[in-house]
Amino acid sequence: MATLISNSAAETEAFGERWGRDAKPGWVIGLSGDLGAGKTQFVKGVARGLGITVRVHSPTFTLVNIYSGGRLPLYHLDLYRLETREAIESAGIYDFFRPDGVAVVEWAERWPEQPQPYTTTLRFEVLNPSQRRLTYEDPGA
């Protein structure tokens, strides 16, 4: 288990950018943590690391945002509004775990029994208004 302390939204985004540069086709990254913990900031960095230049925003109400134009497509999913396995399945979330791109799932803890294991899961903890602790398994290990 690895731990990183981020002291700002910019640091969280830079960490995501490194992951985006290293991302492999088929990766599924689960993100868990409270509202405002930095999950979407991390995804913005992943997009930048993949070479995606459009504005990235939370898919809380759309459930899925698809970003192309980079080295790999990015499928940004948000399970916050889906409270049961049945709701997740009926929303078609499975369709976005594709071998051609990278799927990043916010609120991953809402779907503990999903069909394809996450490549890794990052846990975001708010330490204070500007600091976050990110705990994760290294997918490259």
Q: Which domains does the chain have, with CATH numbers?
A: 2-136 (3.40.50.300)
Separation CA 119–CA 32 (nearest Å) = 14
Cα 48 to its chain centre, rounded Å, is 13
Residue 52 structure tokens: 């995606």
As a dihedral over the C-alpha atoms of residue 83, residue 85, residue 91, residue 96, rounded to 10 degrees, the angle is 120
pLDDT band at residue 139 using 50, 70 and 90 as cut-offs: low
**Is the pTM above the cut of 0.85?**
yes
Instruction: Go through 90-100 and write b for each residue having 16 or more CB atoms within 10 A of its CB, e for each that does not.
Output: ebebeebbeee
Greater pLDDT, 101 or 85: 101
Which secondary structure element, helix H or strand E, spans residue 21, and what is its range? helix 9-22
Residues 6+ apart with CB under 8 A from 55: none
pLDDT of residue 97: 86
Confidence at residue 86, expressed as pLDDT on a 0 to 100 scale: 85
What percentage of the chain has pLDDT greater than the value 90? Answer: 70
- Summarised one tens digit per residue, pLDDT across range 96-130 is 888 999 999 999 888 767 666 678 899 999 999 99
